[in-house]
Amino acid sequence: MDQTILIDENGKRTDGRSIDDLRDVKITIGVLKNADGSASIEFGKNKIMVAVYGPREVHPKHMALPDRCVLRCRYHMSPFSTDTRKNPAPSRREVEISKVMREALEPAIMLEDYPRAAIDVFVEVLQADGGSRCAGIAAASVALADAGVNMKDLVAACAAGKVNDKIVLDINDIEDKEGSADMPVAYLPNLEQITLLQLDGILNESQFNECLEKAIHGCKMVYEIQRKALIEKYFGNDLPEGEEKELEENKEN
Amino acid sequence: MSLSKKSPIVIEQLRKRQMFDLITNGKRLDGRNLEDIRDLEIEIDIIKKADGSAKVRLGNSEVIAGVKVETGAPFEGLENKGALIVTAEVLPIASPYIEPGPPDEETIELARVVDRGIRESQMIDLDKLVLIPGKTVYVIFVDCSIINADGNLFDATSYAVVAALLSSKLPIFEIRDEKVVDTGKKQEPPITTIPVSITSIRIGNNIIVDPTVEEEACMESRITITTNSNNEYTAIQKGSTGYFTLEQIKFAAQTARVKAETLRTKLKELIK
């Protein structure tokens, strides 16, 4: 297995990245006019849009919880997002991803601030390129912030994996299919909490530790991009006091 | 759509308090230590109509798994491999909280996580189960019925699948005049490794292995870790609405490797 050469002799991957490089990530906030919060993310060739509606009344009403908010999450892939057409009906894979996505976001949201209400997060994958659940989580947490939902931290997400026996950051579509391990992780960078962790593929103990730490490092890089997108949207060039200095410091690190 | 809901399992406040008090002192309601796994009982060949079967009892959680072998088209993108499909259903006989109907997201997650644990470990050498490359392959179904639910269905179901596959005898198919013919003979399945799944949960700052249904009702987060015979990690799934710290994950991963050993020895005895 894993015979295809995905890393050449110069250490470059199929898309020209080195093993520690993230794909280009671009986050745009407020892309949907009707939503209470929204974001679109381009994560390599992934194109994903996220809409947040709420906090709003729960329908049907018996779903409401007396002490906290109901978080509802839907991950969906458009039929044209993949190489062969995807049936638009929700697949078992999408049901599972919707669940792990919700569980990745919940620890960051102050659900107890909105009892008897619901927050709906809709993640629509327009073009898929490997790592769509991580990109979706990153965009969803920015969209939640855009909706003004009280949060303890942003949720950053990034995958790492094993390709040609090397642990690499942020695996793309071909590395996912031909590589030998994929580990998506979601992380709250300020609280240092892991809220999503999955693995398919074989890793020994040291590879497992390296992979997990690399994915967390990737999450921290994604976090900086999320944060910058929010600052740009809400403060433009007039950064609040102290922020400018902090951004510079982060750059140096 | 996935939504947060209340646990249907009701636990008296006093019992919950007692559980938390015990856990802080490294003990549990049923007398186990935090890292102890309940007794595992395995019976094989209980369904004669299946090509392999097993009934597993993990504490009070009971699962029956049956293997059925057919031929069919290979999966897209895996044209030169046999197909292995694991399903799971929590039957309404399993608990007062289960209702009949289409599978909910928890059941779908259960089936997919068990399937992933078996598939990613490459337990069955699927390269050896091809009849006409790209066209006709062996299709192995392992269907699981949960008949009594008392927590940690992930591991109980996974052990049932492994036991059923280890003890199975696959029919030998042949191609004659471009048609699939059952020769009536049987073969051993091409086993390469024995995957063992270990599930832990976090309550407070404590990691507890093999939770009961009561403990699951109080958990903040859950993690299922599968290792193979070489002690390598092959599949992981974090679940539930809480978090883990990096140290807690490393601890759970280490525990999963250590705890899998004894269970693997037990499962290995089935092949003899």
pLDDT per residue as tens digits for the range B16-69: 899 999 999 999 999 999 999 999 999 999 999 999 999 999 999 999 999 999
pLDDT tier, B77 (very low <50, low <70, confident <90, very high otherwise): confident
ipTM: 0.89
Instruction: Please give the single-letter amino acid code of residue B15.
Output: R
Of B5, B105, B246, the CB nearest to A216: B246
Overall fold of domain B13-271: Ribosomal Protein S5; domain 2 (3.30.230)
The confidence score (pLDDT) of residue B10 equals 80
Cα R_g (chain B), whole angstroms: 20
Q: Which residues lie below 8 Å from residue A13, measured CB to CB, with a gap of 6+?
A: A6, A7, A19, A21, A163, A168, A172, A175
The average pLDDT across B80-87 equals 95
Torsion of CA A160, A164, A165, A169, to 10 degrees: -20
Of A93, A101, A106, the CB nearest to B4: A106
Judge: B230–A204 Cβ closer than 8 Å, yes or no: yes
B180, burial (CB in 10 Å: exposed 0-12, middle 13-18, buried 19+): middle
User: Which residue do the tokens 């978090």 mark?
Assistant: B243
Are the C-beta atoms of A188 and A197 separated by less than 8 Å? no
Give the minimum alpha-carbon distance from A241 to chain B in angstroms, rounded to a whole number.
32
Give the minimum alpha-carbon distance from B182 to chain A in angstroms, rounded to a whole number.
31
Chain B hits for A188, Cβ within 8 Å: 243
Query: Does position B8 have pLDDT exceeding 80, yes or no?
Result: no
Q: What share of chain A is helix, strand, coil (3-state, %, to 5)?
A: 35, 30, 35
Nearest residue in chain B measured CA to CA from A206: B232
Judge: A204–B231 Cβ closer than 8 Å, yes or no: yes
Q: How far is CA A47 from the centre of its chain?
A: 12
Strands (DSSP E) found in chain A: 25-29, 37-43, 46-57, 70-77, 117-127, 156-163, 166-169, 181-188, 193-203
pLDDT (tens digit per residue) in B137-177: 999 999 999 999 999 999 999 999 999 999 999 999 999 98
The confidence score (pLDDT) of residue A244 equals 62
Of B4, B122, B238, the CB nearest to A71: B4
Give the minimum alpha-carbon distance from B105 to chain A in angstroms, rounded to a whole number.
6
Of A242, A233, A150, the closest CA to residue A225 belongs to A233
A74, burial (CB in 10 Å: exposed 0-12, middle 13-18, buried 19+): buried
In terms of pLDDT, which residue wins out, B192 or B2?
A: B192
Judge: B243–A191 Cβ closer than 8 Å, yes or no: yes
Q: How far is CA A134 from the centre of its chain?
A: 3
Both tokens of A234, joined, read 């809400």
The confidence score (pLDDT) of residue A78 equals 96
- Please state, as a whole number, how many other Cβ atoms lie within 10 Å of the Cβ of residue A243: 13
Both tokens of B166, joined, read 């280890």
Cα R_g (chain A), whole angstroms: 18
Of A72, A84, A96, the CB nearest to B1: A72
pLDDT (tens digit per residue) in B176-185: 988 899 999 9
What does the alpha-carbon distance between residue B102 and residue B87 come to, in Å, rounded to a whole number? 13
What does the alpha-carbon distance between residue B35 and residue A46 come to, in Å, rounded to a whole number? 41
Largest CA distance in chain A: 60
Domain ranges of chain B: 13-271
Mutation choice for A interface testing from B1, B105, B246 by most A CBs within 10 A: B1
Q: Which residues lie below 8 Å from residue B201, measured CB to CB, with a gap of 6+?
A: B207, B208, B211, B215, B216, B219, B220, B221, B222, B223, B240
Of A111, A200, A208, the CB nearest to B116: A200
What does the alpha-carbon distance between residue A92 and residue A96 come to, in Å, rounded to a whole number? 6
Interface of B with A (CB under 8 A): 1-6, 76-77, 105-106, 108-109, 111-112, 116, 120-122, 223, 228, 230-246, 249-250, 253, 257
Q: Distances in Å between the alpha carbon of A87 and those of A76, A80, A82, A84, A134?
A: 11, 9, 10, 9, 22
Judge: A65–B238 Cβ closer than 8 Å, yes or no: no
Judge: A204–B233 Cβ closer than 8 Å, yes or no: yes
The confidence score (pLDDT) of residue A178 equals 87
pLDDT tier, B125 (very low <50, low <70, confident <90, very high otherwise): very high
Q: Distances in Å between the alpha carbon of B58 and those of A62, A187, B111?
A: 35, 33, 17
User: Which residue do the tokens 């403060």 mark?
Assistant: A235
User: Which residue do the tokens 């590879």 mark?
Assistant: A207
Could you say which residues of chain A have pLDDT below 50?
Answer: 1
Q: How far is CA A138 from the centre of its chain?
A: 3
A237 in contact with B at a CB cutoff of 8 Å?
Answer: no
Nearest residue in chain A measured CA to CA from B249: A194
Both tokens of B79, joined, read 């044209």
A111 in contact with B at a CB cutoff of 8 Å?
Answer: yes
Mean pLDDT for chain B? 94
The confidence score (pLDDT) of residue A1 equals 46
Chain B hits for A220, Cβ within 8 Å: none
Both tokens of B93, joined, read 């006989």
Question: Domains, chain A, ranges and CATH?
Answer: 25-157+217-252 (3.30.230.70)
A156 in contact with B at a CB cutoff of 8 Å?
Answer: no
Of A160, A158, A135, the closest CA to residue A75 belongs to A135
Angle of CA points B131, B134, B137, to nearest 5°: 35
Chain A hits for B5, Cβ within 8 Å: 63, 65, 70
Give the minimum alpha-carbon distance from B241 to chain A in angstroms, rounded to a whole number.
4
Q: Distances in Å between the alpha carbon of B187 and those of A217, B69, B171, B190?
A: 48, 12, 6, 9
